[in-house]
Amino acid sequence: MADAATPDTTAETLAFPQGFRWGAATAAFQIEGSTSAGGRGESIWDVFTRTPGLVIDGSNAELAADSYRRYRDDVALLAGLDADDYRFSISWPRVQPGGTGPANEAGLAYYDRLVDELLTAGIAPVPTLYHWDLPQELEAAGGWLNRDTAYRLADYAGLVVDRLGDRVQRWITLNEPAMTTLQGYALGSQAPGHALMMGSLPTAHHQLLAHGLAVAAIRERGDAEVGITNNHTLMVPASDAPADQFAAGAFDLIYNRIFADPVLTGAYPDLSGFGLEAMPGLEDGDLELIGAPIDFYGINFYNPTLVAAPREGSEFAAAGLPFEPVEFENVPTTGFDWPIMPETFTELLVSFARDYGDRLPPVVITENGASFPDEVVGGAVTGAVHDERRIDYVDRHITAVRHAIDQGVDVRGYYLWSLTDNFEWAEGYTQRFGLVHVDFETGERTPKDSYAWYRDRIAASR
């Protein structure tokens, strides 16, 4: 392939529509470290990481990428990319340690400094209010199974917007509620680690209600833009067999449509195939809140999903579910073993525009990227990281976004996940997504070849 720092000029076009915004994304628990500094409270992820056997390498996020202390270094890296936007998240337990009551001044002051540093560098802050780090005190009271948690998030949102709203023009309410429901409450592979299967569904509704309440809280405080970020995947049936076709449709409903339809159409999809007449926890007036107009819709995309009818004896069959994700054959994969099929990204985006029509606001790709086992070659000062596979992945997925735009999808921005290597949830420090390599013992940052490539790709796209 071309030199790592040189954009792929063989693509049909490098230019994107005028005003298209480029950036990078991170999350507070994954990068900040200093988990006990400045009066920060305990989150469900602090508890999860202390439980033996739940994090693959037994690690925790006390240091992570050390961004709580090194945030100026990270802003300088963003400026070096000539990024338009920085999508980061605000730590709920750093701002409101127990999830209720007044704000923690030290926590708000940290985000004051970060926002001011970004604006001084000419970079727009795009904060996510909730990126999975629920205060542990709220989890002890039922977490997202408890409807009251939605109202607590709205109160927290008000505290943050009151402090930062004079400088922040775009907000994201929640990140990937599907993953909280499916991994955190249904399967137990992420915090808080419950394995409730279909009993997890109330958490989906309560998160979406929290989104609606947070939108209202932001709207009450000014005219900033607001959206939500959902993780979406294209469901590919394992075969033409009716059972596999049905399975793909069922998984699409539970993974994609339950989280998109209420926001974009004001209604849940038909859940009768799961033996439900209505979404558990739904009350009068909820859908009006959830379906209130938003200014943009954030889509996170990493890979498609191959879906089959559940195999006899599998955990999906045992749980009575009509689907089971299976592996693609003869498809290249990332370090996470996720299939690399960028054409499915285009297909997903086109399907959203087709299925939701004028109910779909402008789309922002709020996460897209890939983990690979990167290594620094050379010393700490002169070292380099040659990550050609990441460059290839990102290049092909940016091109996939361009193809979707050419087919009429209104995509307004692309944020690469992630700016730096980080604490990758239950995978600990075993997966690296960053444009910048982080030494997790010292915090030392080494820009990878993909960093220079992305910088030049942004320049060529304008």
Q: Indicate the SS3 state at residue 87.
A: strand
Residue linked to tokens 């529509």: 17
Respond yes or no: is residue 176 known to be catalytic.
yes
Tell whether 131 is in a known binding site: yes
DSSP string, 4-72: TTS--TTSS-----TT-EEEEE--HHHH---TTGGG---BHHHHHHHSTTSSTT---SSSTT-HHHHHH
3-state helix, strand, coil in the chain (%, to 5): 45, 15, 40
Q: Indicate the SS3 state at residue 266.
A: coil
Strand partners, 225: 170
Q: Please state, as a whole number, how many other Cβ atoms lie within 10 Å of the Cβ of residue 354.
A: 12
Tell whether 424 is in a known binding site: yes
Tell whether 343 is in a known binding site: no
Respond yes or no: is residue 444 known to be catalytic.
no
Instruction: Show Cβ contacts of residue 184 under 8 Å, excluding neighbours closer than 6 positions.
Output: 44, 132, 144, 190, 191, 192, 193, 194, 200, 203
DSSP string, 419-454: SB----GGGTTS----SEEE-TTT--EEE-HHHHHH
**Burial group, residue 121, by CB count within 10 angstroms (0-12, 13-18, 19+):** middle
Dist. CA 347–CA 338, nearest whole Å: 17
Tokens of 241: 């067999």
DSSP state of 222: -
Q: Mind spelling out the 3-state secondary structure of 353-401? A: HHHHHHHCCCEEEEECCCCCCCCCECCCCCCECCCHHHHHHHHHHHHHH
Given 367, 388, 441, 444, the catalytic residue? 367
Tell whether 302 is in a known binding site: yes
Given 42, 117, 176, 324, the catalytic residue? 176
Tell whether 92 is in a known binding site: no
Closest CA to 171 of 115, 93, 117, 107: 115
Tell whether 105 is in a known binding site: no
The helix-helix angle for 258-265 and 201-220 (nearest 10°) equals 30
Tell whether 42 is in a known binding site: no
Q: Which residues are annotated as a binding site?
A: 30, 131, 175, 302, 417, 424-425
- Annotated catalytic sites, by residue? 176, 367
List, as residue ranges, the binding site for substrate: 30, 131, 175, 302, 417, 424-425
